[in-house]
Structure 1
Amino acid sequence: MALNTTIPHAFLGSPEAWQGFVGEAQKYMPSSGRLALLAFVNIPLIAIVLNVLRQLFLFRDKSLPPEVFHLVPYFGSAASYGNDPIRFFTDCQKKYGNVFTFVMLGRKMTVALGAKGNNFILGGKTANVSAEDAYTHLTTPVFGKDVVYDIPNERFMEQKKFVKFGLSTDNFRAYVGLIEKEVSDFIDRDPAFRIYQINDINEWGAFDVLKVLQEMTILTASRTLQGQEVREGLDKGFSDTFTDLDGGFTPLHFTFPNLPLASYRKRDAAQKKMSNFYVDIVKKRREGKSMTETDMITALMECKYRDGTPLRDHEIAHIMIALLMAGQHTSSTTGTWTLLHIADRQDVQEALYQEQVKHFGQPDGSFRLPTYEELKQLPVLDCVIRETLRIHPPIHSIMRYVRADTPVPPTLAAPSKDGTYVVPAGHYFLASPAVAQIDPEVWRDGAKWDPGRWSDADGEAQKAFKQYYDESGEKIDYGFGAVSKGTDSPYQPFGAGRHRCIGEQFAYLQLGVLILTVVRKIELRLPGSVPGPNYHTMITMPKDPRTMLYRRRRFD
């Protein structure tokens, strides 16, 4: 009976309240119901008590990393991690060090923090760690079969090589004008920007910056990578299909891949519909009825695996869906954070504008279109994008499934008195570049958005950048071309190792042209402060409200 008068205190306010609740319920139940109620009440409490006793008093395997204390079995630290993973990581780091394990909905998650932790996990061998085993249950229902994590890693690396083939410099040169036109037309025509300059009265309007950026990025991506047919097909029907498919890309769907809920049924129907949409485009192009020379579909149609087998139509379709989904989320979110910060920092916004005046301004007050090469030579723009990616990486946690027992290097975590820690097969590894990118031991005022840090040639930012993009250092070919490893850098905005994002150059191009065009056409202000991060989504978006004020520039 002591069990019933101690643990419930935290849930109902007092032992008397708990006893009163049970007593009242028993009055209206038959004996069998009373037994069921007692079981319902006591079994979870017994489980909690046993879980606490196990952690406090029972023998713990000293070869395992320390485990984060938690009350509720199975559920573990899911709430603390899900609500604010960065705070959860840093709090645990202070108590347990850079390597620790926490329970999340029955999974054992072993975290390795810092640049060394990222290097350990993201640079791990496929025999020991697997991204496919960690993510396929989320990505395959959305992207489709036979692509990305639904295939062996070697095959996936070949597909990345195909995509890289389509991300050519010649294509990028053609994309600059296409992206600029889409953004300009959107600002000129969309109802979100209905306030115009009238005579000498320059009125202020307002818009939801995330919503606008989501629309801009899908328009620009579809006009460039996705192809003219996709751009022309962006009607309400496509938007609804995309929304339903996107609804299957949430933490709920990651945790529980198959539930009898409407969002799962909509996800599956949308995947089939969108797959058929792309397959139809491929078939028409093979028949010579339609062709666009500078998009990804054309590039993929020309690719063959090492064994000589060409990509099948449904594989092309599913790769295109993966590109659309992944690029849409990351670019729109990074663009949103960027505009929020430059709206908050008028000095940075003005510097961005004056940089365009200097390089692209014309005597009549207009601006000429920059070339792709010129975009890469704009220091203010470059610093702004790099800093936004540092403090707001789209993904805060990167997971790998542990395939084989893996020792933790002594340089990462001091061995226990019984020897080196070993993470067992069946656990999950979790790296967090987001933590490393604000580490106070590496970054000066690491939690502060400060583009100026990238202007210091000898500062910590440039050192981290050179580690990530080291052109003269070690190169590794994982199957999609030689790249700098980048796993030991404290700056990893696009991941590292074999799963490093190959779309980073396109992302810089898309973001760069979008930001320049917006700043050139309108002034931005925030009615309040920059919102905090929302960690309840797969991609770390800003919380509501995301309202931004704007005013058209005088010449526009």
Structure 2
Amino acid sequence: TAGAAAAAALLAVALLWLLLAKPRGAPPTLGGLPLIGGALAFFGGPMKLMAKAHKAHGQVFTVNVLHKRITFLLGPEVSSHFYKAQDKLMSQKEVYEFNVPTFGRGVVFDVDHKKRAEQFRFFAETLKPHKLRTYVGMMVQEAEDYFGKFPDVCEVDINETLSELIIFTASRCLMGREIRETLFDTVYKYFHDLDNGMQPISVFFPYLPIEAHRKRDASRAKLAKIFSDVIQSRRARNADEPDVMQGFMNARYKNGEGMTDDQICGMLIAVLFAGQHTSSVTSTWTALFLAANKERCMAPLLEEQKAVVAEHGDELNYETLQQMDGLYRAIKEALRMHPPLIMLMRYAHERFDVTDKDGRTYTVPKGDICATSPSFSMRLEHVFEEPGKYDPDRFAPGREEDKKANFSFVGFGGGRHGCMGEVFAFLQVKTVLAYMMRNFEFELVNKGEFPEPNYDAMVVGPRTEGGKCMVRMRRRKLL
């Protein structure tokens, strides 16, 4: 048919472009069938692809995925330009536009860099210390209410348990009292549809007419109506609530304009997407590592909790959480071993040179999608000692392995687009885990068995097959 012929012609042109646009000195290309070989390897699992290509080519290589060329930059030595370059040189917008159907129009990746920077400023305003102090109180209350319903002895899937608690705390701090107290179940269902609408194919074809995308679009519209009703109710009552929604309602661009109700909804969806999954998997991995290493890793943290209580009393608040350096390192090490995102991406608006640790210099072409991998880079043996071992003390004073080179630790990204919610996330995970340690003993049900990471998921949590995430909890008071 004419359509098939046109499609074939377009593919041929794309292949020719890939071959001709590659400049002299470009990174080596992973071999395979023309056009589809890289795609098969990529969709077969990015971690496997990176391991194979890194062994063959080193830290810098290119994979042709359908009509796009993706150049990987693995390790701190080759990541500086990726993280530090201005948006006019290395941009997020082109590679993350697949989020637009989920977040909505007029926000984040649907606007230019200048407007996006203002929207990020709105979020930054909601993360100032006096706001964070208020959020911690909400988090503690949610933890008390949630764990208060547990029997004295129980066995739970810690992944499900902490995912549920994290969404409770996130919804209370971000979306507000009304959503958390009266509309949570409905909103959670719609968020679940948005979540399921983020398929691997969505990255390349976000508007493909598949069932997951249809549910995504319908739920996005329903969320917009729910949030708009809450916003209008607050305005009618002249309410001023202590949450992120209120911060977005009060925010103004430099020209004096505010966001529309739909844009506020989009910003809240974006913030929840950025934080909820990442915090839930990070809290889960940390709890699993501590349960599996009770003497070596958990025991010192229990002593730290006793010391904090002895000096500051037993109230969990913003100030006491700042004293928990050992817990901070335990969370950071879980993030190093299992960061939530396999890859971060940018679009190269100009060619640039990059030199690997062995002194080889490559020219990355203009128009390439550039990718780095926190998951892979933070497991490199020349960056971290015994990278497969859970060892929070690698970040302790005197060792500080993450300080040996810039961008060694990239659990929250880095540079110009490092995660704005890092402080909020650490407070959230610290609060949940500190409460658990103070009120429960917990251990793996199946000792000696530890879950593997689920690299098939968009956000990398543990595989739960075989009960490997089951934890036995026994109520106690630490002091």
TM-score for both structures, normalised by structure 1: 0.77
Matches of 2:107 and 2:287, distance apart in 1: 34
Q: Report matched runs for 1:166-315 at 5 Å.
A: 166-189=126-149, 193=150, 196-197=151-152, 203=153, 205-288=154-237, 290-292=239-241, 294-315=242-263
Q: Any idea what the Cα deviations from partners look like across 1:475-503, whole Å, max 9, x if unmatched?
A: xxxxxxxxxxxxx3211111122221111
Structure 1 residue 67, shift from structure 2 partner = 0.5
Which of 151, 158, 169 is matched with 2:111 structurally?
151
| Residues 1:503 and 2:417 are matched in the alignment | no
Q: CA deviation at 1:338?
A: 0.9
Offset of residue 444 of structure 1: 0.9
CA displacement at 1:273 relative to structure 2: 0.9
Amino acid paired to 2:451: P
| Deviations 1:186-221 (CA, angstroms, capped at 9, x unpaired) | 1222xxx4xx34xxxxx4x32222222221111111
- Work out the CA distance in 1 between the residues paired with 2:214 and 2:232: 27
Residue 392 (1) aligns with residue 353 (2): no
Q: 2:304 aligns with which of 352, 355, 360?
A: 355
Matched, 1:108 2:66: no
Indicate if the aligned counterparts of 1:82 and 1:536 stay in contact, CA closer than 8 A. no
Amino acid at match of 2:382: E
1:172/1:372 contact within 8 Å kept: yes
**Is 1:67 aligned to residue 29 of structure 2?**
yes
Paired AA for residue 74 in structure 1: L
Question: SS at 1:408's partner residue?
Answer: strand
Say whether residues 1:97 and 2:31 are aligned partners: no
Match of 2:47 in 1: 86
Query: Structure 2 vs 1, CA of residues 354 and 458 (structure 1 numbering), >3 Å: closer, same or farther?
Result: closer
Q: What CA distance in whole angstroms lies between the structure 2 residues aligned with 1:78 and 1:336?
A: 32
**Distance across 2 between alignment mates of 1:181 and 1:511:** 14
Counterpart contact for 1:251–1:536, Cα < 8 Å: no
Q: Which residue of 1 aligns with 2:277?
A: 329
Task: Measure the CA separation in 2 of the matches of 1:251 and 1:376.
Answer: 38
Whether the 8 Å contact between 2:402 and 2:408 is mirrored in structure 1 is no
Within 2, Cα distance between the matches of 1:509 and 1:520? 16
SS in 2 for 1:400: strand
Given that 2:27 and 2:61 are in contact with CA atoms closer than 8 Å, whether structure 1 keeps it comes out as yes
How big is each residue's C-alpha offset from its partner over 1:228-275, in whole Å with a ceiling of 9 and x where there is no partner?
112113443222211111111232221321222211110000111112
Q: Which residue of 2 aligns with 1:34?
A: none
CA 1:87–1:157 in 2, change beyond 3 Å: closer, same or farther?
A: same
* Residue 341 to residue 548, structure 1, CA distance change in 2 (3 Å): same
Choose the corresponding residue for 2:455, options 535, 539, 546: 535
Q: Which residue of 2 aligns with 1:481?
A: none
Which amino acid counterpart does residue 259 of structure 1 have in structure 2?
A: L
Count, aligned residues: 458
Distance 2:36 2:125 in 1: 44
Residue equivalent to 1:31: none
In 2: Cα distance, 1:553 partner to 1:136 partner: 46
> Greater CA deviation, 326-335 or 173-182?
173-182
In 2, the alpha carbon distance for the partners of 1:87 and 1:351 equals 36
Specify the code of the residue in structure 2 equivalent to 1:271.
R
Q: 2:349 maps to what in 1?
A: 403
**More off after superposition, 250-259 vs 150-159:** 250-259
**If you compute each CA radius of gyration, which structure gives the higher value, 1 or 2?**
1
Cα shift at 1:328 = 1.0
Name the Cα RMSD after superposition.
2.7
Structure 2 CA distance for partners of 1:383 and 1:304, relative to 1, 3 Å:
same
**Pair 312,236 (structure 1): closer, same or farther in 2 beyond 3 Å:** closer
Q: Deviations for 1:128-158, whole angstroms, at most 9, x for unmatched residues?
A: 3221000112x11111111111100111111
Alignment gaps of 5+ in structure 1:
1-43, 198-202, 468-487
User: What residue identity is the alignment partner of 2:212?
Assistant: S
Contact 2:440 2:477 in 1 (8 A): no
CA distance in 2, matches of 1:411, 1:338: 32
1:533 partner SS:
coil
Q: What is the deviation of 1:177?
A: 2.5
SS in 1 for 2:37: coil
Query: What is the rounded CA distance, in whole Å, between the counterparts of 1:255 and 1:233 in structure 2?
Result: 37
Q: Aligned with 1:70: secondary structure?
A: coil
Per-residue CA deviations over 1:159-209 (Å, capped at 9, x if unaligned) read 1111110112112212223212211221222xxx4xx34xxxxx4x32222
1:375 to 316, 321, 341: 321
Q: Distance in 2 between matches of 1:235 and 1:150?
A: 28
- The secondary structure found in structure 2 opposite 1:524 is strand
* SS of the residue 2:161 aligns to: helix
Q: Percent identity?
A: 33
Q: Do 2:24 and 2:363's aligned partners in 1 also have CA atoms closer than 8 Å? A: no
Partner of 1:233, secondary structure, is: helix
Q: Which residue, 422, 440, 443 being the options, matches 2:384?
A: 443
Give the equivalent residue in structure 1 for 2:473: 551
1:87 CA drift (Å)? 4.2
Which segment is superposed worse, 115-124 or 163-172?
115-124
The reply on whether 1:463 has 2:403 as its aligned counterpart is: yes
Letter in 1 for 2:195: D
Contact 1:118 1:432 in 2 (8 A): no
Q: Which of 506-515 and 245-254 deviates more? A: 245-254
Q: Which residue of 1 aligns with 2:4?
A: none
Q: Which residue of 2 aligns with 1:482?
A: none
Give the one of 491, 494, 506 matched to 2:412. Answer: 494
Shift of 1:410: 4.1
